[in-house]
Amino acid sequence: MDNKSIDLGNNSIPKLLTNLAIPAIIAQMVNILYNIIDRIFIGRMPSGELAMAGIGIAMPIIMIISAFSALVGSGGAPLVAIKMGEKNNDEAEKIMSNSFSLLIILGTILTVVFLVFKEPILWAFGASEATIGYSMDYLSIYVIGSIFVQISMGMNSFINTQGFAKIGMFTVAIGAVINIILDPIFIFGFDMGVKGAALASIIAQAVSAMFVLKFLFGNKSILKIRKKYLKLDKKVITSIVSLGIAPFIMQGTESLVLISLNNQLSRFGGDLAVGAMTIMSSIMQIIVLPLMGLTQGAQPIISYNFGAKNYERVKETFKLLLKTCLFYSCSMVILLMLFPEAFVGIFNNKPELVQITSWSIKIYFSGMFIFGAQIACQQTFLALGQAKISLVLALLRKVVLLVPLIFILPSILDNGLQAVLLSEPIADIVASITTITCFTIFYKKTLQTSEITNFVEEV
């Protein structure tokens, strides 16, 4: 493994993006793999369907725990890169060390809250007499590892933002591989059921967290977690949270969207429609995570050069990111429109489910061709430290557009099922156009460079 950092201020932009994005994409895909395998093992337990349902009910809590790691990691990492670009490594270490302390505090609070209130929360999320036991068994163990989740996921961003993409990929991959190995041993070998799945997860996260801290406290890291900066600084924490609130909301509201979709799809299409949405959500994850890997690769380059006031490299990086994201999203939409059955077949081959899912895909994903532009612009806002506009855009697509449309469109259109599915492409297109417009205005107002102000039109 190459442990050398990359020169974010001078190396070739295409080479930089390739070197940083590919490990990030691989790490994202590894996470997808271990999530899928995890569900396969749980599904093969006795009463596997009930166990899966119980885990599904607990998923919003797990997503909330992960969202807090994104709050700190996605908020602190761009600020660190900007300070590195300004050649102010001392301030960068202060931000990173404060982020570490904040993650420890958040992990402790989340552990206590969910251990004490997990049962009423699970009942509120829809648990039944048949599933509450599985939910409780899984969550009782998983939340004990909340601190490990915060460190492994939140602090890994500070490895990537220094240019150590391969090490960042390794810390994710090692946890995923351990989880895959331990799942069958604990679930079936030790007959622990869902408790075994939860135990495998927190052990994997603990090992991943150990590797993350070993690097950030070690000599190979450019920036180190410093004892003198572990005391929380109100100004630093405010900056981190202000920038990280957008990705926090993006992850935290995902459960709200799924609850809304499943409610309406069940009403207008029954269990088959809900099953179709489960498959489409998995396909969406497969498509979106490589895009997130691309933007994670671009973030350190953009943040560093913005801090160094090298706006030409900021422009060049964004243009390459935008073109790559658009090409990918358009290509995936074409494949989905032409071969929907092939994507559905990855998850299920029952004729009725394949038929309704294939039909739904052509509606649900029809607006995703422009999604590449939206995610490129929105994540670039984060890389440039623009907290307020990132928050507005994060709220726009899901909370302002998608959730209301899910309930409004069926009252307008005759076909209720089709109306629910149409909410996604409408939200995608409106949010993307708004994001691109805001991004163009931002450059004209902030950078005040004629060469940069028209770069969106040049692409």
Q: pLDDT tens digits for 85-111? A: 888 888 888 999 999 999 999 999 999
**What pLDDT is attached to residue 457?**
43
**What pLDDT is attached to residue 454?**
44
Calculate mean pLDDT across residues 72-83: 85
Together in a domain, 101 and 197: yes
Name which residue leads in pLDDT, 273 or 326.
326
58 pLDDT exceeds 70? yes
Q: Is residue 197 part of a domain?
A: yes
1 pLDDT exceeds 50? no
365 pLDDT exceeds 80? yes
Together in a domain, 227 and 342: no
**What pLDDT is attached to residue 162?**
81
Residue numbers of the domain that contains 174:
13-248
**What pLDDT is attached to residue 60?**
76
Task: Give pLDDT tens digits for 22-45.
Answer: 777 777 677 666 666 666 677 667
Total domain count, the chain: 2
Q: Is residue 242 part of a domain?
A: yes
**What pLDDT is attached to residue 404?**
93
308 pLDDT exceeds 50? yes
Name which residue leads in pLDDT, 137 or 164.
137
Residue 138 in contact with residue 197, Cβ under 8 Å? Answer: yes
Q: Is residue 284 part of a domain?
A: no
**What pLDDT is attached to residue 448?**
52
Q: How far apart are CA 255 and CA 270, in angstroms?
A: 20
299 pLDDT exceeds 90? no
List the single range of 54-63, 66-75, 103-112, 354-363 with lowest mean pLDDT. Answer: 54-63
Name which residue leads in pLDDT, 4 or 65.
65
Q: Is residue 7 part of a domain?
A: no
Together in a domain, 84 and 177: yes
Calculate mean pLDDT across residues 270-293: 76
The per-residue pLDDT of the chain, averaged, comes to 81
Q: Is residue 5 part of a domain?
A: no
Name which residue leads in pLDDT, 358 or 282.
358
3 pLDDT exceeds 50? no
Residue 242: C-alpha distances to residues 21, 149, 174 (Å): 25, 21, 31
Together in a domain, 121 and 202: yes
**What pLDDT is attached to residue 455?**
39
Together in a domain, 207 and 99: yes
**What pLDDT is attached to residue 99?**
92
Together in a domain, 98 and 205: yes
Q: Is residue 270 part of a domain?
A: no
**What pLDDT is attached to residue 113?**
93
Q: Is residue 278 part of a domain?
A: no
Task: Give pLDDT tens digits for 188-235.
Answer: 888 888 888 889 989 998 999 999 999 888 888 888 888 888 888 888
Calculate mean pLDDT across residues 243-272: 76
Name the domain boundary from 192, 220, 248. Answer: 248
Name which residue leads in pLDDT, 344 or 454.
344
Together in a domain, 202 and 305: no
425 pLDDT exceeds 90? yes
445 pLDDT exceeds 90? no
Q: Of 30, 90, 75, 21, which Cα lies nearest the Cα of 383?
A: 75
Name which residue leads in pLDDT, 436 or 255.
436
Together in a domain, 312 and 203: no
pTM score over 0.75: no
**What pLDDT is attached to residue 436?**
87
Q: What percent of the chain has pLDDT over 70?
A: 86
Q: Is residue 269 part of a domain?
A: no
Together in a domain, 447 and 368: yes
Together in a domain, 405 and 333: yes
List the single range of 2-16, 107-121, 379-393 with lowest mean pLDDT. Answer: 2-16
Together in a domain, 308 and 220: no
**What pLDDT is attached to residue 451?**
44
- Residue 140's Cβ-count burial label (10 Å; 0-12, 13-18, 19+) is middle
Name the domain boundary from 220, 248, 276. Answer: 248
Task: Give pLDDT tens digits for 379-411.
Answer: 788 777 776 777 787 778 888 889 899 999 999
419 pLDDT exceeds 90? yes
Together in a domain, 429 and 357: yes
**What pLDDT is attached to residue 453?**
39
